[in-house]
A and B are shown apart, each in its own frame.
Chain A
Amino acid sequence: MPLSMRLAIKLFIRVLVCSLSVVCCVHAETIRAPDPSQIPAEAKARKNTLIATIAAPQGVFNPYLISNGWDENVTAAIFGNLVGLDRQGKPVSDQAESWTISPDGLVYTFKLAKNLKFSDGSPLTASDVAFTLTFLYDPAYDGETDISLAHIKGGDAYKKGAATSISGIVVINPQTIQITVTEPGATTLTRLGGPILSKAYYGKNYQKGKLESLRALSNKPIGSGPYVYENFVPGQEVRFKANPYYFKGKPAIENFIYRITTDATRLQLFQTGGTDIESFPVNSDNIEQLKEMGFANIHVYPSSDFSLIDFNHKKPYLKDARVRQALIYGLDRKKLVDLIYQGNGSVANLPIAPLSWAYNPSGVNTFLFDPAKARALLDQAGFKPGKDGVREKNGQRLSLTLLATKSQFNDALIPIAKESYKAIGVELNAEISDFNALLAKRKAGSFDLATYRTSGLSDPHDGVKDFRTNENKFGYGNPKVDDLITKGNETSNITQRKEIYHQLYQVLANDPPCIFLAYRNILSASNSRVTNYQPNIYLGLTGILPELRLTGAK
């Protein structure tokens, strides 16, 4: 019996045996520590130090040069943002006190908070914002931030060398900056309102086209966020101190450490008091073990990502929407979600997580598992069962290749999908590789189906932008979808956007660009000596860090 099969069965049995506490998917839930007296001595002894955890920071502590999410978490604590997000993912003021957007959506005027300072005590002004945005248009800039999506006026001219500055960026006074863009975009606000680099510090020896001096500062960052970077012990930890110049006031906890932990021992480390805040794979085993510790506050809260299976629309047999719908109806997603998340996830039907303000499933086809309907749809599409039971049409057998990575999720998905699809006359072959190779194979077009999980998405536009005909690399195209995506991105009025996305999600369900699989919750635990910890995926740890307190702190 293959390993994945055995694991799936094991998980399945576990689901049957455990009577599950039903946890609602959308709202965060906290189980209070039953016995805070059990706080380990090691944690108690740390009077004014909070230890959170991180997997693999690499030491590139510049928010625009990072190449992984861990370094991004570190820079978030050091730099903060001009524009933040609220608990539903809506933009809210942070280091920018307020902003206005012109009615045509082309002129953004930001007003910076008063008393905004970098951690070296120097003021953060509009010219620092201008410096940061201009730097992102440097032709030698090789980071992951794609400022071209903000369409700042004159940006391309500067990048090509036709101008020495960007005409769309105008410093009005030290506290006010005006940015003109050439195309409206709902995500432009957060693109412009990111972390700010100090011009005096990062721009000191920097010249256009030469990033070396700026890159050399990646291991000694200076920002305007709640915490000041102290040092990085490679493979061990990143240390911070509270920023006395933080514009909302110095955070209450003096020392903050991101400690590097691994999957195998994160539970033991938390249990012995080595860490204060930690996250775990969400399952009933982990929740049980945390409960037994007595001192752990347990938090289950929704994530902003989702898992999916991409179709390769360039394959003739996947062009027919009926075949794609049949592949959704014919897949037992509920079984998958129950098996993996054990009550802490739900079947996905929209390209946005339930936590978001844009989530509205009413009227959107839920594609409840229905093999009979799937068979009927395949019949209609002209695919008839062949000799070996696999459906075919004009000699084209419905034998599909699924690209997947090695993960616990896929260990359950693959056997379930194989079995479900066999029952509707579709053969499935899985091809396992690492994520990088999966994306490369997907790009080369040598696949029928490809499964993965998105990164965390805060704006609904991020979930659908790739479905536009000219953006989609796999042959998906639907004029109505194009139109609605463009409309949804043209305005920043939340009420209007809600309505547009609601329509879009209904259209997408009729002509599915992919199979949405599952939303999931995140499980995190905090030592009960930490108070005010109410995690939220959009805020991240940095967003709530200044509010945290330690009981027993001096």
Chain B
Amino acid sequence: MLAADITGRKFTAMRAFVLRRVLAAIPLLLGASLLIFLVFAFTPGDFIDGNINLTAQRAAELKALYGLDQPWWLRYLHWLEKLLHGDLGFSMQYQIPVTELLGQYVFNSFLLASVSMVLYWGIALLTGVLAAVQPYSLFDRLLTLAVFAAMSFPVFFLCLLLIKWAAVDLGWLPVGGMLATGSDTRGWAYVHEVAIHMVLPVITLVMLQAGGLTRYFRASMFEALAMDFVRTARAKGLKERTVIFKHALRNALLPMIALAGFELPALFSGAIITEKLFNWPGVGHVHIDTLAARDYPVLMAFTLFLAALTILGNLMADIVYACVDPRIRLR
């Protein structure tokens, strides 16, 4: 009865907490949107300025048609008004609604990022923990060396090396893209084709990301293993396996929750260099292109989307914290 009561109270506290945090996110997002808008509005040049061939008269006409002749605050208010009606606007460059445009590319980035994320979290967890269990062993030292080697590779170089070996010399994997040119595959054949095209970019991303994360896991696990309760557990006569995976690991994972929260926006933002080199049709290059073209509606929408995901990721991390760690009270 007591336990149920505590759970109930905790649930009520959690609901209030989530509500408060969501409400607090609104002014935060508004502030972020204003800031983002100001940065873009005060960057020299706009969508029309980039066209060198226009006469002054036609440029002025076009600026009026696109509303670029208005003061920045009026443009911001227009944008905000549309946003409140659920309209993210219309891309100047692509001439389709921003949501439709992002929809064409965000999924591809998400696919690549999520697969690599699962892999490098898994690898980092495994290697990090194993290294911490036997600190300063040969395995630990070799791992540290490998980790730093992988991290220090420039992305550009790594991608080109992989392409040269696997695609050009051996001919095992495609040079780039997400599908073979002119391919009409459907169903499982399609899945297979995409998977093959994903191998190299995923290897690149895993190599670049797993290293740092392994260090985090190792440090966290190392610290947990030095705690008093681990000594107690061992003194109780528990099996070493139980001590490590049940007592130490669970505690070592807590700080990783915050890190995982930060990964949420990274799932959707697109790995710009890797995507570019492997010709992956992700959102990264769209973001860069729209920046060069000063396509404000897309820039605003996408940057704000990432800001919202950052806030959401943090909130989720806090909630998960509260769920798994009874010591934490949400206020």
Residues of A within 8 A of B (CB): 46, 49, 51, 56, 58-60, 65, 67-68, 140, 142, 144, 146, 148-149, 215, 218-219, 233-237, 239, 255, 257, 259-262, 264-265, 268-269, 271-272, 274-275, 433-441, 443-444, 452, 454-455, 471, 473
Contacts and interface: CB of A to CB of B under 8 A. Distances in A.
Contacts of A433: 44
B291 to A, nearest CB: 8
25 contacts: A56-B289, A60-B95, A65-B95, A67-B92, A67-B93, A67-B95, A144-B51, A148-B58, A149-B55, A219-B96, A233-B179, A235-B282, A236-B177, A236-B279, A257-B182, A259-B181, A260-B177, A261-B279, A262-B276, A264-B160, A269-B176, A436-B293, A436-B294, A440-B46, A452-B52
A433 B105 CA distance: 27
B54 A144 contact: yes
A439 B277 contact: no
Interface string B161-191: 0011001100100111111011000000000
Nearest to B168: A268
A434 B293 CA distance: 10
Given A59-B96, A436-B50, A146 B58 contact: yes
A67 B90 CA distance: 14
A272 B65 contact: no
Contact of B279 (A265, A437, A455): A265
Nearest to A233: B179
Contacts of A443: 49
Interface string B25-49: 0000000000000000001111001
B57 A148 contact: yes
Contacts of A236: 177-179, 181, 279, 281
Interface of B is mostly: loop
Contacts of B73: none
Given A260-B281, A265-B176, 18 more contacts: A56-B289, A144-B53, A144-B54, A148-B57, A233-B281, A235-B279, A236-B179, A236-B181, A255-B182, A261-B279, A265-B163, A272-B167, A435-B50, A439-B52, A443-B49, A452-B52, A454-B52, A471-B56
Contacts of B66: 142
A265 B49 contact: no
Nearest to B181: A259
B95 to A, nearest CB: 5
Contact of B62 (A142, A257, A434, A435): A142
Nearest to B164: A268
Nearest to B96: A59
Contact of A58 (B62, B94, B278): B94
Nearest to B55: A146
A234 B177 contact: no
Interface in B280-295: 280-282, 285-286, 289, 292-294
B181 A257 contact: yes
B156 A264 contact: yes
- Which of B94, B164, B174, B280 gathers most chain A CB within 10 Å? B94
B163 A471 contact: no
Nearest to B291: A434
Given A51-B181, A274-B181, A436-B44, A265 B175 contact: yes
B7 interface: no
Most buried by B among A144, A218, A269: A269
Contacts of B171: 272
Contacts of A67: 51, 92-93, 95, 293
Contacts of A65: 95
A344 B178 CA distance: 35
